[in-house]
A and B are shown apart, each in its own frame.
Chain A
Amino acid sequence: AQSVTQLGSHVSVSEGALVLLRCNYSSSVPPYLFWYVQYPNQGLQLLLKYTTGATLVKGINGFEAEFKKSETSFHLTKPSAHMSDAAEYFCAVTAATGGFKTIFGAGTRLFVKA
């Protein structure tokens, strides 16, 4: 069975500061990992995903995440926050052995201060 833990339901950063949103997963089989973002009054959209190959994954809007198997982590980072990054971010996992379910974390709301 898979599970996802996002540390911190709320994160606040200043504009221009580093963004770090934490995600740890639990999976009995090799995982596929995703970050989705939900802007106010919009549907969820994919930021980036790890399937196979390079463990450092780059996504849209300058975000990237690194799959660290030894730490069972998939933290999301962005070097410099913009006001437009304010949104809710969800980490998710699916199984690499034909599983159909995507398991989402509880989400982290990012606030960006001017």
Chain B
Amino acid sequence: GAGVSQTPSNKVTEKGKYVELRCDPISGHTALYWYRQSLGQGPEFLIYFQGTGAADDSGLPNDRFFAVRPEGSVSTLKIQRTERGDSAVYLCASSPGTSQSTDTQYFGPGTRLTVL
């Protein structure tokens, strides 16, 4: 079956602009995660959804970052007033939602965001 997909694969924007990054999880997966991966680093947790609700958003760096999952499937990560430091690969993962701690997470290919 289809895996996790993310669009766009690459996004170049100018400092101060607004961007939206989309994630389509594996069908039937109730849990969805967003991570940010900077060069030379491992993925850094941003937010976790169980269904439509954000169960843990403690990784969002500041109030310029926001994510939604209105119907419990597709999720959008929104970044306002982008800064150069936001440049990174943004990863999305989904899991069945059986156990938050032990579920295998299935990752998408990521969106590479470049802020000029």
Which residues of A come within 8 Å of B, CB atoms? 4, 9, 32, 36, 42-46, 49, 51, 90, 92, 94-107
Q: Which residue on chain B has the smallest CB distance to residue A105?
A: B42
Q: How far is A92 from B35 in the complex, measured between Cα atoms in Å?
A: 13
B116 located at the interface, meaning its Cβ lies under 8 Å from any Cβ of chain A in the complex: no
Given the known A-B contacts A90-B42, A106-B40, A106-B41, are A44 and B101 also in contact in the complex, defined by CB atoms under 8 Å? no
Given contacts A95-B101, A96-B101, contact A103 B45 (CB under 8 A): yes
Q: How many A-B residue pairs have CB under 8 A?
A: 64
| Given A43-B4, A44-B91, A107-B42, also A102-B105 (CB < 8 A) | yes
Interface contact A46-B42, CB-CB below 8 Å: no
* B45 nearest CB neighbor, chain A only: A101
Interface hits, B66-116 → A, CB 8 Å:
91, 93, 100-102, 104-110
> Is chain B's binding surface mostly helix, strand, loop or mixed?
loop
Main secondary structure of the interface of A (DSSP, over half): loop
Instruction: Tell me the smallest distance from the CB of B111 to a CB of chain A, in Å.
Output: 12
Q: CB of B55 within 8 A of chain A?
A: yes
Cβ of A20 to closest chain B Cβ, rounded Å:
19
Contact B101 A104 (CB under 8 A): no
